[in-house]
């Protein structure tokens, strides 16, 4: 079944164009990832324009992410069913069309619907891009290809708030979707001229509709639970209990069904490879640490330091560039050396840990100079992790299984990110409340320092012309605000330190990964 013109490329042509191919598929994947976070800075504009409540407008983000995670593990199957080139270009087309209708939406219902369609289109881009790179590069050069891909994967979510902030500040929220049109059309045109089909295409003769339905229900419900859990007080809520029970039941049914059917939508036998299985756990923990810190650093900058989205983006940008530079250099280094990749992962975790330790010392008085080196180190640390982990996880995967393996691997990282954000949100609320109560115990007129502080604050309010009748209330409100800020600051510091420890806990998994210096499963062999 061919929707787009079929083109045949010989191995020599694919090898000659390998870097262009990597850039094209990375451009499409980066566009998709940009949209996971770009909408967050436009929430207030969308609420005002469409007359939606905060609870309602969150479905603009939730619908997109749920659709994404449903499609991710199915990407390998869709690639075999329709052809990888066909599926990739179809996904870009669906993303472009839905982006136009998102920007043109005149109601919240229409916007949520087209965001779900956009998520279905975007979900097919990341895993398919990754499998394309694995086939286009030789085993020796795959590090260079993954470096290009890794830059897009890391920079997409990071640049989302920056780009979104710039657009909403200078224009209006529909343009955060319209910007996808020129990017998507460029990627589509280049893909049409450069993208090869898979040499390991496995025709699908039967459709496992039951497996697709069970997987979509399980993963989709789990994602909704993670998105809504903190707001609904987690398992104190009957809604969350039902989500958890339904997700677990459908997941167990999916595992049983896939083991019994002759034509599974996802071949779970790949999990017997202990190196790949260990890589999945590592990917989950990396996703937790990456997405949670990406999400909460802008929140800290904007809520406690008063930065707008554009200023926040400028603070984050040097770290994103450091990440890209590290992966570019590391990709070349891995291709030319015989170093044990596990040592690179250890270095990455160490550098990331130092960065998070520095994050844990940020204060409400920190400035841009205080953020520069911690964010540079964060980018370098993650750069040292991404390429080795991908290489180690895929080292023993057969070429025909790469589409299936990359889909599952990307899903696990995405779910790790969702869990990380959900855990961080819950702990942030809990710690903020707990530390505020503890700090309040030390704000008493029994302490001389407190009396002195209140005296000077009261004098300042008098000089500012505060109404004497409102003085006491104003004084209490200011003190309460300062306690809230300090408690929130401590909570942010704890979150940064927590995810440093989380990633360090993954180190023993490297023992399950034999030494790997180059992928055995590279698609090209030169």
Tokens of 452: 């002195």
The C-alpha atoms of residue 273 and residue 456 are separated, in whole angstroms, by 67
In this prediction, residue 387 carries a pLDDT of 81
Tokens 């800075």 label which residue? Answer: 41
Q: Are 364 and 519 in contact (CB under 8 A)?
A: no
Tens digits of per-residue pLDDT, 139-158? 777 778 888 888 787 777 76
Per cent of the chain over pLDDT 70 is: 87
Helix then strand count (H, E) for the chain reads 20, 0
> How does residue 520 score in pLDDT terms, banded at 50, 70 and 90?
very low
pLDDT (0 to 100) of residue 159: 73
Average pLDDT over residues 62-85: 83
Q: Is the pLDDT of residue 483 over 80?
A: yes
Alpha carbon distance 518, 392 (integer Å): 9
Q: Under DSSP, is residue 175 helix (H, G, I), strand (E, B) or coil?
A: helix
pLDDT tens column, 384-407: 888 888 888 888 888 788 878 888
Residues ≥6 apart with Cβ < 8 Å to 194:
17, 20, 21, 24
**Structure confidence by residue, pLDDT tens digits, 23-38:** 999 999 888 888 877 7
- Residues 352-362: pLDDT tens digits? 989 999 998 89
Burial of 215 (C-beta count, 10 Å sphere; 0-12/13-18/19+): buried
What average pLDDT does this structure show over 318-333? 82
pLDDT reading at 454 higher than 60: no
From CA 478, how far away is CA 244, in angstroms rounded? Answer: 41
CA-to-CA dists, residue 92 to 6, 102, 126, 428, angstroms: 16, 15, 11, 37
Calpha distance 26→30 (Å, rounded): 6
Q: In angstroms, what CA-CA distances link 174 with 11, 149, 206?
A: 42, 28, 41
Q: 336, 188 in Cβ contact below 8 A?
A: no
* Nearest CA among 63, 439, 85, 74 for reference residue 227: 63
Distance CA 443, CA 282 (A): 44
- How confident is residue 471, by pLDDT bands cut at 50, 70 and 90? low
pLDDT at 117 over 90: yes
Task: Report the candidate in 324, 381, 333 with the shortest Cα–Cα distance to residue 154.
Answer: 324
The per-residue pLDDT for 328 is 80
**Domains parsed from the chain with CATH numbers:** 11-205+263-432+489-512 (1.20.1250.20)
Window from 14-23, 157-166, 493-502 with minimum mean pLDDT: 157-166
**pTM score:** 0.81
**Whole-number pLDDT of residue 453:** 58
Residues 6+ apart with CB under 8 A from 124: 71, 75, 78, 87, 88, 90, 91
Q: Is the pLDDT of residue 261 over 50?
A: yes
């Amino acid at each position: 079944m061919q929707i787009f013109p079929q083109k045949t490329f010989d191995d020599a042509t694919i090898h000659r164009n390998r870097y262009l191919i990597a850039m094209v598929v990375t451009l499409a994947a980066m566009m998709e990832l940009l949209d996971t976070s770009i909408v967050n800075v436009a929430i207030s504009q969308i609420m005002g324009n469409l007359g939606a409540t905060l609870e309602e407008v969150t479905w603009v983000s939730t619908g997109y992410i749920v659709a994404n995670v449903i499609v991710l593990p199915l990407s390998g199957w869709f690639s075999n069913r329709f052809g990888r080139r066909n599926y990739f270009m179809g996904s870009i087309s669906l993303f472009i069309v839905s982006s136009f209708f998102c920007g043109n939406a005149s109601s919240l219902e229409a916007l949520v619907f087209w965001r779900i369609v956009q998520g279905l289109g975007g979900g097919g881009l990341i895993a398919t891009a990754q499998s394309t790179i694995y086939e286009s590069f030789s085993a020796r050069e795959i590090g260079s290809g993954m470096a290009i891909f890794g830059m897009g994967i890391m920079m997409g979510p990071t640049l989302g708030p920056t780009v979104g902030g710039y657009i909403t500040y200078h224009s209006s929220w529909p343009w955060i979707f319209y910007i996808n049109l020129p990017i998507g059309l460029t990627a589509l045109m280049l893909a049409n001229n450069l993208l090869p089909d898979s040499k390991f295409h496995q025709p699908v003769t039967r459709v496992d509709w039951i497996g697709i339905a069970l997987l979509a229900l399980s993963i989709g419900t789990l994602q909704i639970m993670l998105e809504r859990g903190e707001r609904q007080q987690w398992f104190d809520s009957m809604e969350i209990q039902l989500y958890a029970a339904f997700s677990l039941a459908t997941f167990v049914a999916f595992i049983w069904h896939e083991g019994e059917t002759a034509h599974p939508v996802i071949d779970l036998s790949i999990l017997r490879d202990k190196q790949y299985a260990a890589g999945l756990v590592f990917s989950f923990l990396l996703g937790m640490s990456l997405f949670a810190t990406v999400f909460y650093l802008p929140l800290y900058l904007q809520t406690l330091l008063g930065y707008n989205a554009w200023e926040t983006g400028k603070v984050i940008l040097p770290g994103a560039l450091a990440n890209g530079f590290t992966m570019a250099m590391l990709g070349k280094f891995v291709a030319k050396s015989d170093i044990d990749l596990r040592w690179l992962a250890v270095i990455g975790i160490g550098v990331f840990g130092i960065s998070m330790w520095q994050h844990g010392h940020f204060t409400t008085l920190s400035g841009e100079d205080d953020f520069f080196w911690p964010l540079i180190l964060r980018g370098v640390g993650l750069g040292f992790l991404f390429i080795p982990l991908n290489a180690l996880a895929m080292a023993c995967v057969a070429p025909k299984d790469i589409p299936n393996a990359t889909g599952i691997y990307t899903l696990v990282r995405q779910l790790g990110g969702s869990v990380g954000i959900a855990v961080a949100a819950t702990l942030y609320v809990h710690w903020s409340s707990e530390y505020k109560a503890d700090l309040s115990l030390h704000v008493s007129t029994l302490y001389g320092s407190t009396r002195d502080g209140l005296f000077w604050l009261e004098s300042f309010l008098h000089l500012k012309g505060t109404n004497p009748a409102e003085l006491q209330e104003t004084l209490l409100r200011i003190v309460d605000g300062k306690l809230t800020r300090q408690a929130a600051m401590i909570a942010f510091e704890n979150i940064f330190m927590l995810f440093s420890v989380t990633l360090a806990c993954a180190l023993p998994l490297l023992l399950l990964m034999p030494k790997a210096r180059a992928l055995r499963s590279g698609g090209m062999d030169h």
